Amino acid sequence: MPRIDEIADGVYRICVVYEDIGLQFNHFLVKDDEPLLFHAGLNAMFGDILDGVSKLIDPSTLKWVGFSHFESDECGSLNKWLELAPRAEPLCTSLGAMLSVNDFAIRPARGMNDGETLTTGSKTYRFCSTAHIPHGWDAGVLFEETEGTLFCSDLFTHFGEVEPLTGSDIVGRAKDSLLNMQQSPFAYYIPYTPQMKGIFDKLAALDAKTMAVMHGSSFTGDCGKALVELSSVIEETLG
């Protein structure tokens, strides 16, 4: 059974741990008139995630299945959700829809351009294109403007049995994990690119109050500062 915690108003973190590597995989369910799940999750975790979603809503009422980039932990079980929820639609960047999702998924995606918004009832989301950040040229992150929650995918990845939400040094944890990964197959999970700093600055300017992190604790506090610091850590480590 996954662990479920509310990390922001109406935003629930459904955590499944991949024990072999000591890494949390977090999926975020947002309750609203049109419920949204950010990160469909791995096929192998579908049963656990479904158990979690079923504790919060009737899963057949799911409307949006969003994700950052085309990768199995982001969208491997997308079609299972689309089969379960008849009105559900994939939600991703317009590039992601064009490149992969509209070929892979059993229903077409709502592909969103940079800055485009979507209202689901009481909440309004904006997709930000973030090419190659955290990875994949189709990558984007989703910002919920009403509560100030940034669904930031693999940014701030860190390992271990960590708490659902923290206000402490998430950048230090991400730096330690990045350094520890240097001798592993995950060494370059995030690339250093000349465009990187500008993308992080753009995300920092959103002034998010909470960041929903896929792997590790979510963060509440000065998200803009943390994003700028993470950019510097990546440049120092990989640049």
138 binds Fe ion (CB under 5 A): no
Cis? peptide before 134, omega within 30° of 0: yes
The residues facing 75 across adjacent strands are: none
Question: Order of strands, edge to edge, in the sheet holding 124-129?
Answer: 117-119, 124-129, 140-144, 149-151, 210-212, 218-220, 165-166
Cα 78–chain centre separation? 14
Each residue 180-219 as x (binds Fe ion by CB under 5 A) or -, in order, gives: ----------------------------------x-----
Of 132 and 209, the one with the shorter C-beta distance to Fe ion is: 132
Of 28 and 32, the one with the shorter C-beta distance to Fe ion is: 28
Are 192 and 235 contacting, i.e. CB atoms less than 8 angstroms apart? yes
What's the closest the beta carbon of residue 199 comes to Fe ion, in angstroms? 15
Of 32 and 73, the one with the shorter C-beta distance to Fe ion is: 73
Of 24, 154, 174, 231, the one binding Fe ion by CB under 5 A = 154
Burial class (CB in 10 A: 0-12, 13-18, 19+), 193: middle
What's the closest the beta carbon of residue 69 comes to Fe ion, in angstroms? 6
71 binds Fe ion (CB under 5 A): yes
Distance in angstroms (rounded) separating the CA atoms of residues 160 and 82: 32
CA distance readout (Å), 90 to 75, 76, 117, 221 = 9, 12, 15, 30
Of 48 and 73, the one with the shorter C-beta distance to Fe ion is: 73
What's the closest the beta carbon of residue 156 comes to Fe ion, in angstroms? 11
Stretch that binds Fe ion, among 48-56, 71-79, 101-109, 111-119 (CB under 5 A): 71-79
- Residue in this structure with the two tokens 């100030």, named with its chain if needed: 148
Stretch that binds Fe ion, among 10-18, 107-115, 147-155, 173-181 (CB under 5 A): 147-155
Interface residue list for Fe ion (CB under 5 A):
71, 73, 154, 214
